[in-house]
Amino acid sequence: MSNRSDFDFRVDGAQIFTGALKPCIAELEAALIRLPRNDAGTRIYQLDAIKPLLAKDGDIGAIAASVLGAQSRPVRAILFNKSPQNNWSLAWHQDRTICVKEKREVSGFGPWTVKGGMHHVAPPFGLLARMVTLRAHLDDVPATNAPLLIASGSHTRGRIPIKDIEAIVGCCVTRTCLAKAGDIWLYSTPILHASDAAVRPSSRRVLQIDYAADDLPGALEWLGV
């Protein structure tokens, strides 16, 4: 397992932007204060106060736009709040679904699920491969507070069958994504990732935002943020 800080987005599928959130961290915390405090994960929709920060020229969104270009936009946001009361582990997996406004049958999209009352669907893998995910850290995440683990380079392996995930992880270098409050991590959305339960759990609030530049085909529409 590697803890080196010299991540390269193209090679590893991840990169840290140290302190990028600091200019707006107080503003972000104030906007999120009304959300449930004890939920492990809260899906965010139509929270107007954070939209300027997530826009392509915002402190957070500009990082996604640096990869995806001018058409970059936030398409899903979740606030994770790991704590002594909610301290869980996450097995190795790929994020495989997107969130849309309504269920519309389109070739290549499926199966469908409903999470938090919102429609999710697995798209063609090429769409996921063109997306990025940002994790904006509101708290410190040392090695004892359940940092995200990634399988370096796994974002280049395509859609990985569940039965093959363990073998692919074994072929990759596992890297640990430590963070300070105010750091933002950039990931390729389909990268294999996991996390252990915290050894010494404390507040570990992370705002995770998926970004895309693609329009969806047919009558499908991104739900957005």
Is 176 exposed, middle or buried (CB count within 10 Å of its CB: 0-12, 13-18, 19+)?
A: middle
Q: Say which residue the tokens 């410190």 belong to.
A: 140
Q: How confident is the model at residue 35 (pLDDT cuts 50, 70, 90)?
A: confident
pLDDT over threshold 80, residue 5: no
pLDDT over threshold 90, residue 115: no
- CA distance to 18, 55, 107, 141, 165, per residue, from 127 (Å): 28, 20, 13, 30, 20
Q: How confident is the model at residue 39 (pLDDT cuts 50, 70, 90)?
A: low
Average pLDDT over residues 109-138: 95
Per-residue pLDDT tens digits for 149-185:
999 999 999 999 999 999 999 999 999 999 999 999 9
pTM for the complete prediction?
Answer: 0.94
